[in-house]
Amino acid sequence: MRLLLLLACQGLALQFQQPTIVPRRELIAAPFVISMLASTPALAAEDPLKALYKAAVFAKKSRRYAPGERRTPDDFEQGSDSPFVGEYSDPNHPAGVRTVTMLDERVGEFCRAKIDGNDGPGEPPFSLPALVYSDQITADFRPKGGPSDLTAFLTADGIKFPDGNKWPRRKSSDL
């Protein structure tokens, strides 16, 4: 019995020590395939709009409503008449302005948008790609040094971000 157990253990040990055999054609093709992947921009780096879309879909699917919070209807205007369209201020940059514009393009169920602005006089302008669905906007803040997938929600008087920052809508008297 001990002998059988010893032979079985040695057989298992030998199984783990055997080298992996790779067919010659795979060894020859590997450098070619790796160089093709590295030189193809679409495969080497993911399309920023695709990454933004994935983030927007995740935010939409994972959204949780607070008790009593009104759910937005599916026919919420997402075109040029979207409630997101307009100018906003940012309490973190009081002299700056943010302008949300809807584009005439769709990515799946999302409408493309952009957020243009600056952080004040003399500061460089920025343009952030965004996707809008219902009362949700997901923007790529990398041009400003921020995250690539920040989702915020439209409120009665502005846009509220998860960190508590809120961009109040600018009144026509502020313009």
pLDDT the model gives residue 17: 55
Contact 107, 116 (CB under 8 A): no
The residues, any chain, with a CB within 8 Å of residue 174's CB and separated by 6 or more, are 89
Mean pLDDT of 128-157: 92
**pLDDT (tens digit per residue) in 57-77:** 877 777 666 665 555 555 555
Mean pLDDT of the chain: 76
Q: Which domain holds residue 126?
A: 77-168
Residues in the chain: 175
Per DSSP, the residues of 152-172 read EEEETTEEE-TTS-EEEBPPT
Quick one: how far is CA 151 from the chain centroid? 8
Domain assignment of residue 137, yes or no = yes
Mean pLDDT of 75-83: 66
pLDDT the model gives residue 88: 96
Domain assignment of residue 114, yes or no = yes
Find the helix or strand (DSSP H, E) in which 37 lies: helix 24-39
pLDDT the model gives residue 68: 58
Residue 129 pLDDT > 90: yes
Mean pLDDT of 77-99: 87
Domain assignment of residue 24, yes or no = no
- CA dist 170 and 90 (Å) reads 10
Candidates 106, 85, 89; CA nearest to 97 is 89
Residue 52 pLDDT > 60: yes
Domain assignment of residue 132, yes or no = yes
Indicate the pairing of strand 150-155 with strand 126-133. Answer: unpaired
Residue 29 pLDDT > 70: no
Domain assignment of residue 95, yes or no = yes
Q: How far is CA 154 from CA 25, 70, 76, 133, 160, in A?
A: 57, 12, 12, 11, 6
Contact 111, 103 (CB under 8 A): yes
Residue 138: pLDDT band (50, 70, 90) is very high
Residue 16 pLDDT > 80: no
**pLDDT (tens digit per residue) in 143-164:** 999 999 999 999 888 999 999 9
Find the helix or strand (DSSP H, E) in which 53 lies: helix 48-62
pLDDT the model gives residue 83: 87
The pair of three-digit structure tokens given for residue 118, joined into one six-digit string: 């600056």
The residues, any chain, with a CB within 8 Å of residue 80's CB and separated by 6 or more, are 102, 104
Identity of the residue numbered 120 = G
Q: Which residue has the higher pLDDT, 40 or 157?
A: 157
Domain assignment of residue 10, yes or no = no
Domains of the chain: total: 1
Domain assignment of residue 55, yes or no = no
Domain assignment of residue 128, yes or no = yes
CATH number of the domain where residue 95 is located: 2.40.128
Residue 20 pLDDT > 60: no
